[in-house]
Structure 1
Amino acid sequence: MFVILALCWQILATKALEEAIFDPLAYVDPLIGASNGGNVFPGASLPYGMTKAVADTNSSSNQGGFTLDGAFVTGFSGMHDSGTGGNPSLGNFPLFPFTNCPEGDINRCEFPKISRAAHGGFSSNTVTAKPGMFAITLNNGIRADMTTTHHTSLFRFTFPTLGSDGEPAQPLILQDLTDLANSRQDNGNVAVDPETGRITGSACFLPSFGSGNFVLHFCTDFRGADVLDSGIFVNSRASTVVHNLTISRSINGYPLPGGAFMRFNSGAEPILVRTANSFISVEQACKHAETEIPDFDFERVSEAATEIWREKLSPIKVSPVGVQGSLLTNFYSGIYRTMINPQNYTGENPRWKSSEPYFDSFYYCRMSLNKGFTQGGSNADNVLADTFIKGIKDGIDWEDGYAAVVKDAEVEPYDWCCEGRGGLDSWKTLGYVPVEDFDYKGFGTMTRSISRTLEYAYNDFCISQIAHGLGHTADRDKYLESSNNWKNLFRPDQTSCRWNGTNTGFTGFFQPRYLNRTWGCQNPLNCSNLDNYSACSLQTTGSETFESSIWEYNFFVPHNQATLLTLLGGPAAFTARLDYLHNNNITYIGNEPSFLTIFQYHYSGRPALSSLRAHSYIPAYFRPTPDGLPGNDDSGAMGSFVAFAMMGLFPNPGQNVYLITPPFFEEVNITSPVTGKTARVRNVGFDAGYKNVYIQSATLDGEAYNKSWVDHSFFTEGKELVLVLGERESAWGTGVEDLPPSLGDNCNSGKEPE
C-alpha cells in the first residue's frame, strides 16, 4: 500500500511540476505556414506591432515576406502583412548586405533587387524563428539577426573575414526605395548624412488589396564599425560623391531601382542597423528609433520582445500532460498568429492627428491607409456587435459606434467597392440584392448577390443587438425584421446535381433573383472545392457567391439556425446535409466560410458530431510544419480557428454564444484581461488518443449543466466547466432546451438572442 501511495504521489508531483514550469513560448513555431501558400509572416514582431522584421525572398508566395520554398533573399525589411492572399504588400525600404565589393569598386556590387538575389541563397537549416526574433545565414556566410520594438527594427549583420574575392571584408549595406510588389509610385527620395551615417527617405506605394496609395517614411542608423564611405545608387550604378536622390517611377511601369548605401572599413565586428518607419514623417520615424532603441542593445531588445510575447500568451494555459508536443505547438502557434495582424498604427494616422486606437486591418471599422476591397457585407458591424454584447464599453462611445453601423445599413457610399454596402435601394425595396442590379448611386462589382444578401441580413441582425442594448427599440425591431431577408433567396424546390448529372439527393437551396423578382440559376456546387473553373472572386464575371458555393452558403444564417433548419427539412436532414458537405469535399477548411459548419451540428441537437468533425480536421489539415496550413492564414484566421476549436469553445461571432466541445487537452485555463478571473474547462476521462471525444455529462460551477453552449460571462466571471467524456455519443446537449440561441422557434424553444 505504501508503495502504491508513493507512486501516486510521484505521478501527481510530476504532473504538477510539468504544469508549473509550462512556458507557452516553447510551443510557438513562427515558421508554421511559411511555405505551401500559407503566406505567414515568420519574422520578429511584437503583438500587433507595426514593425515586422524578416528576410524577404523572391518567391511567388512572398506575401508574408519570407518563404521556405527554395527562393532567394532579396532584402531585409521591417514592414509586413501576414497570411494574406493576392499580391504582396509592404516589405518597404529593404536592406541588403555585401561582405565587400570586388576589388573595392562599389559598382561591382549588385544593387538592383533582381540581380542581388544571386547573393541571397540560403539553407533552411540556418533559419531560426522565435517570438520576437528571427535569424538566417546566407550561403555567402553573412548572418542576419533581427528583433523589433513597436515601430523600429534592429538588425545585426555578422560578416565573414574575407569576401568572395579573397579580399578582407569591407561590408556594404544598401537600403532600397522599393517594396515586395515593386509598387513604388511618383518620386521616391533618399538622403545620406556622410557625417552621422544616417539614411532617411520616403516613397509612395500601392496596397495589395484596395484602392489609393500611401506614403511611408524611414530613418536608418548604423553602429559597430567605422564608415569608409557612403552614397546613393540608381539602377546598377553608384556614387560616393552624391548623397541625395529623388528618383522617378520610370517610364516602362517598373520602378527604377534606387537608394543609398553605407560602406565600412572592417567587418571584424557585427554591424547593427536600426531602422524605423512612420506614415507621418521622416522626423517621426527618427523619433521612434531614438526613443525605442537608443542604445543599439540587441540582446536587451530581443529579450524584451520575448517577454512581451510570454506575457501576452500566458493568460491561456493548458495542461500538457499526455499530449503530443505537436498539438501544443499547433495550439499556441495558432494563438500567436492571431496577434501578428492587425497592426496597431495608433499615432500614425496620416490624415489627421489622433490618439485614438488605429489599426490597419479589416478586423476594424477604419482602414488606416486606404480602403480595401469589400468582399461581401459591412462586416465591421459584426465586430462591433460582438464587442458590445460582450461588455467591452470602457473608453467607447457606443452611440457613435451605433451611428456608424446604422450608416452602413442606410447610406450607400459612392465607392461601395471599398466600404459600406452597395445595392441598398434594392435591398430596402425587394428585400434582397438582385443579380444584375441597377445601382446608379455607387460603384462596385455587380456580383455576389446571394452572399451579399446573406451577409447583409446577418449585418442587420448584429445592428439590432446594439440597438437593443442602447434602448433603440424601434431600430431593434426594424433590423431584426430585415435580418430575415435571407429567406427571399431560398428556393425550396431547387435541386443540386453534379456536373455529370448525378443528383446529390437534396432539395432546397439559395438562388439568385432578378430585379423583377424572377429566379436566376446557379449550380449549388459552383465555386465549391470540387469546382476548378468558375470565377468566384471579385471578377466582373464572378459568381453570385463569393469564394464558396451555394452548398456552403446554404448554412450561412448564423442568427437564425432554427428557421433555416426547418426549411432544410428538420434536424435529421440538416445533419445529413452537413455530413454531405464535409464527407464529399464540397467545403474546403482552408476557406473561412467552412469554419462554423464544423460546429453547426450543435443546432440540430448533435453536438457530439461537432467534436468528431473538429478532430477530423485537426491535425490532419493543420500541422505544425512550414507547409502545414491548408491555405493562406488570412491574417490569423486559420490560427484563430485552430485555437478556438482546440480550446473547445467556438464562438458564433456577433452573438453571446460559445459552442462547447471537449478541449484537446485535459484542462484549459483562460484568464480574462478585463476582470482578472480565470475560467476553466476540465475534461474527466480525457485520453490523449482521442477516443473519448463525446460529452456524457457536464457541470458548470458544480451544478449539472446540459446546454451545449456558454456565454461570455463564463470568461469574465471565471466559471468552471467540467466535462465527463466517453467513447460514444450521449444525450447530453441534445434537448430542445439545450440548443444554442437562435431566432425562430420551429425547432428551438431555447433562449433567443436579445
Structure 2
Amino acid sequence: MRFETSPHRKAAAAVAAISPLHFRGIPRRRRVLVLALCCVGLFFWLPRIAISFGRTLLFFLFSPEWAGPYDGNGSGRAGQEILQFIDPLIGTANGGHVFPGASLPYGMAKPVADTQSPAENAAGYVSDDNPVLGFSHMHDSGTGGNPSMGNFPLFVHPGCPDDDFTKCSYSVYDRPVNRVPGSAFASVGYFSINLTNSVRAGMTATQHAALYRFSFPGSDTVKVMADEDVPKNKPASATEVPYSPLVVLDLVDLANSRSVGGIQVYENTGRIIGEGQYAPSFGAGKYQAFFCADFRGAKIRKTGTFVANKAVEEPKFMDSVGTGAYIPTGSAGAWIQFERPPTDSFLARVGVSFMSVDKACENAENEIPDFEFERVEEDARQAWAEKLSVIQVDPAGVSEELQTTFWSGLYRTLLSPQNYTGENPLWNSSEPYFDSFYCIWDSFRAQHPLLSIIDPPAQTEMVRALLDIYRFEGKLPDCRMSFCKGYTQGGSNADVVIADAFIKGLTDGINWTTAYEAVVSDAEVEPKNWGLEGRGNLVSWHQLGYIPWNDVDNNGTGPASRTVSRGVEYAYDDFCISLLAAGLDLPGDAAKYSRRGGNWVNYWNPDQSDLFRDGDSGEVIQSGFRGFMQPRQPNGTFRYQNTRTCSPIQNQHQCYYDTGLDTYEGSPWLYSFFVPQDMQTLVHLMGGDDRFVERLTFFHESGIAYMGNEQAFLPVFQFHYAGRPGLSSYWSHRYIPSQFNATVNGIPGNDDCAMGAFSAFVMMGFFPVAGQDVYLLTPPFFREVKLKARQEGNKWAVIRVRNFDPVSNGVGGDGRIYIQRAWLNGRPYTKSWITHAFFVKGGVLEYEVGEKEGREWGTAETDRPPSYAATRSTALEI
C-alpha cells in the first residue's frame, strides 16, 4: 500500500467514492494489517517531520551542500519524495500523445488502458470521454502520427448475460465500455481506472512484463451501466449480469495492423500464449511480437477461442490467424472465464518479447515470480527515484504546479527510447540495443543532450545501439521503431547525437572508428531509399552546395520536397562531423566538413520580403523584414515559398510528412534561424544585433513560432547571440507555464520525450546547443538546482540564485528574471554560456537577478556564445 500524499493521489479519494473497490480488492488477510500499518506509519513519519524541519532550518543557515537533501525534493530514504510531483497524465490530451501508464525508465513493458480516441491514441490512453478498448502491455510515448503497438490487449467482463459466454462481446469494435468519469489515476509505476461495467483495473510493470489487478464489487450479480447514459448529468441505467469474470485476450494492436498471428489457451492452468506480425507506426516493414499471460486469484470455469464476436470452447488453439474478409475487425484470440474470485479480485501477469513465446514466459517468470503487486510497484518507484536522484532542487517558494511541471518533464524524458537489449531478433550482438527513436529529428535538440548530463551511461548505450544498427543495416537511423526503419524527416541527425557524445566525453565502449565511418557514410553515400535512412540529392549537395528544387536524383529515391529544411540540416550535420573529425585528428576532413557546414548561406535570399495578407482588410502587407531562406532552382535562381507558410498563422498543416513544399513542419521564418554553427554571420545578414533582436522578438510575438515542434526550442534562446540573454530569459519564462504546465494538455505538441526535456532545461536555467559544447544560461525557476555528475567523482554542479524571491521569480515573464551579475566558484563570470565541463567536474554558478534586463552581463562580444567563422561559405557563383 502507498501512504504518500501526492497531489496527484487526490484522484484516489474520488475513485473510492465512485466505486469503492480497492479495499475489497486486497486479500482479506491483508486488510487486518491496514490499521496497524497506519499506526506504524504515524510513529515512522513523526521523526521524519522533525528531521525535515531541521534540514529546512539548516538550509537557511548554511549551504545546501552541508544541509543535505532538500525537504521534499531530495534523495532521502528510498529517494521517493520527488515522485509525488510526477503526474504521468500531463500531455494525455490535445495531441500530447504521452504514455501515462506504468513503466520503468526506458522500459519495454508499458501497460495502460487503451481508449477509442481516433487520431489521438498513439500512446494508448487519452484523457477524453471515449470508451476503453482494453489493456495492452507495450506502447510508445509522445509519438506523432499513427498509434504505436498496443498489442495483445486484455479486456475483462464481470460476467456475461444469462451466464452465457457467447453473449459477451469480444470484438474490439463491440466490446468497448465507458470509463467512470474522473476515475483514471496515474502515478510513477502505477495506473488505474474504473469502468462502467463494474470492473476496476490497476496495473504496474517490470522491464518486460505487466501485472494487472482486476477488482469487482463483490455481489452475486454485477451492475453494468448503459454506456450512453454515463457522460450525461442524469442517473445511469444499468443491467445486471451473473458475477463470473471473463477475460478476453485479443491478437489485435492499436493500429489494427496484424497480418498474421496465433494463440493458445491451456484449460488446466489458464495460461494463454500467442504471437503476431504487425506494422510499425511511422516506418516500413513488419515486426513479430510474443506474449505469455498467466492468472492468479480465481478458479477457472471455461476456456476457448474467438473470432470477431463468435466465441467457442473448442478449439483451444488457432494458427495463421490473418485479417481481411475472414476477420474484418482484426479481433481474434482466446478467452477464459473464472468463478467468483475469493478476494473479489484476480491478477493477470503478461510477459512480452520480440524473440519468442518462450522468452515472453521467461521474462514474466523471472521478473514477477511472486505475483506480488505492491512489490512490483514499489520496485518501479524505487527505480525511478534512483534514476532521478542525480537532480535536486530547492522547492521553497515554488508552487506545486511548477514543481509538477518540472519533475514530470524529467520523467517523460526517460520513458523512451526503450531498452530492448536481449530482445533483438534481427542480429546477434553483445552491444546494447535501444529502439523507439521517435524521431532523432526531434530528440537530438533537447532529449539526448539532457540524458548526456543526467544519465550518461544510458545515453552512451544509445549511441552504441545506433552504431550497431549501422553495422548490421548499413546506415544510422533518423527514426526507428519496432525493429523497423522509420521515415526520415530532415537531416541525418544521428550525426549530431554522435558528435555531441564525443564532445561531451561519453566514450565508454564506443568504437570511434565505426562512429566516424557511420557519419561519413551519411555525408558521402546516398542510399537507395533516403526516405528511410541517410541523405538524398548528394550529388547536387556536393557540387552546388544546395539541394535544388525539382532536383533530378538518379542515385536514390525519397521525398523530393523539403529542399530548404533538409539543406540547412545537412549543413549543420556536416558541421558536427567536422567537430568529430577535428577531435579524431583528421584535419583535412575537419576542414572539408566545416566548409560544407557553411552551405546554409546558399539558401539565403537577401531580397526576399515577408509578405502577408491582412485577415480583416485582405490587403497584402510587408512586415519590413527582408532576407529569408528560400528554395533555389538548378540554375541558381531563387524560387518563392511564402515566408509564413507552415506556421500557426498560415497553412500550418501543409508541411507534414507528405508535403510537396520546401520546408518541413515549419516555415521559412523558422528555418531562417537554424544556423547554430554560425550565428554571428546570420545576425549580420539579418541586419546586426538590434535588427536581429527585433526580428526574433517579432517571430515570438506574432504567432509564427510554434512551440509544439522542437525546431522552435533553440530560437527561444538565440537572443544570446546578439548580446541580449535577458530576452531569452523573458521568453522562456513566458512559455512556462503558458504552454508547458501541469494540466493534461500541458504541452503544446506531441511530446517525443523532448517537450519534457525542454521544460526541464528551462527550469534548471540552461539550454544546450546540441552538437556543440555550449549551454546557454538563464536564471533557474528555483533558488537552487543541483546536478550530480556521473562521469567524474559524483560531484555536484550547483546553480544558485543569491537574491531569489519566490514572489517575483518571473513566472509568466515578469519579475526577477534577468541576470545582473554571475560568479563561477566565487569568481566573476561574464559569459552567457558554459561548457559541459561544469556538469562533469562540478562547481557553483551563482547569480544576482533583477526585474530589469541587465546591460552588462553576457552582452559583450567576447561573452557571447561561439560562432564558428570557418563555416562561412564562399557561396558558389552560379
TM-score by length of 1: 0.95
Structure 2 match to 1:683: 801
Asked if structure 2 preserves the Cα contact closer than 8 Å seen for 1:102 and 1:109, the reply is: yes
Amino acid at match of 1:695: I
Deviation at 1:315, TM superposition (A): 1.0
Residue 11 of structure 1: how far off its partner (Å): 7.5
Does 2:544 match 1:420?
no
Per the alignment, residue 291 of structure 2 pairs with 218
Q: 2:57 aligns with which of 12, 27, 31?
A: 12
Separation in structure 1 between the aligned mates of residue 322 and residue 386 of structure 2, nearest angstrom? 46
Give the secondary-structure state (helix, strand or coil) at the position aligned to 1:407: helix
Amino acid at match of 1:488: N
Q: Please, which of 646, 650, 661 is the counterpart of residue 778 of structure 2?
A: 661
Structure whose residues are more often helix by fraction: 2
Cα deviation digits, residues 686-721 of structure 1 (max 9, x gap): 122221111111111111100000100110101110
Q: Is the 8 A contact 1:563 1:745 kept in 2?
A: no
Q: CA deviation at 1:230?
A: 0.8
1:3 corresponds in structure 2 to none
Instruction: State how far apart, in whole Å, the 2-side matches of 1:582 and 1:77 are.
Output: 41
* 1:574-585 correspondence to structure 2 within 5 Å: 574-585=692-703
Indicate the SS of the match to 2:540. helix
The CA deviation at 1:380 is 0.3
Q: CA deviation at 1:542?
A: 2.2
2:738 aligned to which of 599, 613, 620: 620
Give the deviation of 1:745 after TM superposition.
8.5
Question: Is it true that 1:400 corresponds to 2:519 in the alignment?
Answer: no
The answer to whether the 8 A contact 1:160-1:267 is kept is no
Aligned residue in 2 for 1:4: none
- Of 615, 628, 640 in structure 2, the residue corresponding to residue 521 of structure 1 is 640
The within-5 A match list for 1:453-472 is 453-472=567-586
- Counterpart of 1:724 in structure 2 is 848
Whole-Å separation in 1 of the counterparts to 2:871 and 2:485:
41
Distance, in Å, in 1 between the alignment partners of 2:740 and 2:835 is 27
Looking at structure 2, the residues matched to 132 and 636 of structure 1 have their Cα atoms a distance apart, in angstroms, of: 17
Matched, 1:390 2:508: no
The alignment's C-alpha RMSD in Å is 1.8
User: What is the correspondence of 1:266-281 to structure 2 with a 5 Å cutoff?
Assistant: 266-269=340-343, 270-281=345-356
Please give the secondary structure, in 1, of the residue aligned with 2:303. strand
* 1:579 to 1:252, Cα distance in 2 relative to 1, 3 A: farther
* 1:295-444 mapped onto 2 (5 Å cutoff): 295-360=370-435, 361=437, 362-363=439-440, 365=466, 366=469, 367=480, 369-444=483-558
Give me the whole-angstrom Cα distance separating, in 1, the residues matched to 2:189 and 2:529. Answer: 39
Partner of 2:127: 68
Counterpart pick for 2:253 among 173, 176, 179: 179
Please name the residue that 1:56 is paired with: 114
Distance 1:200 1:11, change over 3 A: closer
Once the 2 structures are TM-superposed, how far is the Cα of residue 532 of structure 1 from its aligned partner? Answer: 2.7
> Could you say what secondary structure the match of 1:623 adopts?
coil
Q: Is 1:562 equivalent to 2:686 in the alignment?
A: no
The residue type equivalent to 1:682 in the other structure is R
Deviations 1:658-693 (A, max 9, x none): 100000000000011222111000001112222111
Q: In structure 2, what is the equivalent of residue 190 of structure 1? A: 263
Q: Letter of the 2:601 partner, please give it.
A: K
Give the superposition deviation at 1:441.
1.4
The whole-number CA distance in structure 1 between the counterparts of 2:329 and 2:200 is: 29
The SS at the match of 2:628 is strand
Classify 1:703/1:257 alpha carbon distance in 2 versus 1 (closer, same or farther; 3 Å).
same
Q: Does the residue aligned with 1:207 lie in a helix, a strand or coil?
A: coil
Query: Deviations along 1:421-472, whole A, 9 cap, x unmatched?
Result: 0111110011011111101211111000000000000000111111111111
In structure 1, C-alpha distance between the alignment counterparts of 2:313 and 2:871, rounded to whole Å? 79
AA paired with 2:505? G
From the superposition, tell whether residues 11 and 288 of structure 1 become closer, same or farther in structure 2 (CA, over 3 Å). closer
Q: Separation in 1 of the partners of 2:596 and 2:112?
A: 47
Query: 1:239, CA displacement in angstroms?
Result: 1.2
The answer to whether the aligner puts 1:536 opposite 2:655 as a matched pair is: yes
Match in the other structure for 1:752: none
Q: Which residue of 1 aligns with 2:314?
A: 241
Shift in alpha-carbon separation, 1:628–1:497, aligned structure 2, 3 A: same
Counterpart for residue 204 of structure 1: 277
SS at 2:174 equivalent: helix
Report the counterpart of residue 30 of structure 1 in structure 2. Answer: 88
Aligned position for 1:743: 868
Given that 2:594 and 2:870 are in contact with CA atoms closer than 8 Å, whether structure 1 keeps it comes out as no
Q: Structure 1 residue 496: deviation in Å?
A: 1.0
Amino acid aligned to 1:97: V
Does structure 2 retain, via aligned residues, the 8 Å contact 1:89–1:180? yes
Cα distance in 2 for partners of 1:217, 1:746 equals: 50
Distance 2:781 2:689 in 1: 27
Is the Cα contact below 8 Å between 1:160 and 1:169 reproduced in 2?
no
- The CA deviation at 1:85 is 1.4
The alignment status of 1:547 with 2:665, answered yes or no, reads yes
1:204-242 Cα distance to aligned partner (Å, 9 max, x none):
111111111111111111111111111110111111121
SS at match of 2:485: coil
State whether structure 2 residue 207 is matched by structure 1 residue 88: no
AA aligned opposite 2:419: N
Task: Please tell me whether residue 715 in structure 1 is matched to residue 839 in structure 2.
Answer: yes
Q: What is the SS of the residue equivalent to 1:673? A: coil
- Given residue 104 of structure 1, which amino acid in structure 2 is its aligned partner? D
Contact 2:266 2:316 in 1 (8 A): yes
- C-alpha contact 1:159 1:268 (8 A) present in aligned 2: no
Aligned to 1:601: 719
Equivalent residue for 1:259?
333
Q: Which residue of 2 aligns with 1:511?
A: 630
Instruction: Give yes or no for contact 2:151–2:251 (8 Å, CA) kept in 1.
Output: yes
Partner of 1:679, secondary structure, is strand
Q: Secondary structure at the match of 2:284?
A: coil
The answer to whether the 8 A contact 2:173-2:329 is kept is no
Q: Which moved more, 1:512-521 or 1:718-727?
A: 512-521
Give the SS at the match of 1:714. helix
Aligned to 1:157, which of 207, 214, 222?
Answer: 214
Please list the CA deviations of residues 44-85 of structure 1 after superposition, one character each: whole Å capped at 9, or x if unmatched: 000000110100000121111111110111100111011111
How far apart, in 1, do the equivalents of 2:185 and 2:739 lie?
Answer: 24
1:288 aligns with 2:405: no
- Amino acid across the alignment from 2:360: A
CA displacement at 1:267 relative to structure 2: 3.0
Distance in 2 (CA, whole Å) between partners of 1:651 and 1:21 is 28
- 1:639 lines up with 2:756 in the alignment: yes
2:830 is matched with 706
1:140-196 C-alpha deviation (Å, 9 max, x unpaired): 2211110000010001111232234645421111110101111111x2110111222
In 2, the alpha carbon distance for the partners of 1:627 and 1:703 equals 43
Letter in 2 for 1:40: V
Structure 2 matches for 1:135-146, cutoff 5 A? Answer: 135-146=192-203
* Aligned partners of 1:685 and 1:692 also within 8 Å: no
Aligned to 2:173, the other structure's residue is in SS state: helix
Q: More deviation in 165-174 or 676-685?
A: 165-174
3-state SS of 1:217 partner:
strand
Unaligned runs of 5+ in 2: 1-52, 61-66, 74-80, 224-238, 441-461, 470-479, 614-618, 873-878
Counterpart Cα distance in 1 of 2:244 and 2:863: 72
AA partner of residue 304 (structure 1) = D
1:648–1:660: 8 Å Cα contact kept in structure 2?
Answer: yes
Contact 1:562/1:746 (CA < 8 Å) preserved in 2?
A: no
Q: What letter is aligned with 1:225?
A: A
**1:588-626 Cα shifts (integer Å, max 9, x gaps):** 111111100000000000001100111111001112011
Q: Does 1:111 align with 2:170?
A: yes
Provide the residue aligned with 2:710 in structure 1: 592
Aligned partner of 2:373: which letter?
F
